[in-house]
Amino acid sequence: MSGVNKRKVTALKNAFVFSRARKDMFLARHKTKLYRRLGAFVVVALILSVGLGSTLFSRTAHLEEQKLEKKKAEAALVELKQQQKQYEAELKRLEDDEYIAELARKKYFLSDDGEIIFNIPESSESKGKSKE
């Protein structure tokens, strides 16, 4: 029965129908162009954001490495300043004749007039204590 009740409807052929069909086709083309432009914009924006994100990540990692190097350099600087102070103190002591004489007695076994030097080896117990 469904086939019996269907009638063919003829399309009108006037200027309004043609203009409406052209307008619908124009809007469909315009819509596809719009979607293409938006798709291209999204792709470009995605590429740029990925590039900027990777650059930001690499720069952050590089900055962290430089901060660690700076901390190490500052620690080395503090150590070198302490060493410099020790060297300056040693230099001042080396200007003293009594200190030089004491060093010569200890290291080179030199003696004053009338002194006798006895070389006593250190025991293993005292060596162990001095190392700690």
114-128 per-position pLDDT tens digit: 777 777 787 776 555
Cβ neighbours for 93, distance < 8 A, ≥ 6 positions apart:
99
DSSP 53-73: HHHHHHHHHHHHHHHHHHHHH
pLDDT-based confidence at residue 132 (cuts at 50, 70, 90): very low
Lookup result for tokens 């660690």: 68
pLDDT in tens, 57-87: 999 999 999 999 999 999 999 999 999 999 9
What pLDDT is stored for residue 2 in this prediction?
Answer: 59
pLDDT-based confidence at residue 3 (cuts at 50, 70, 90): low
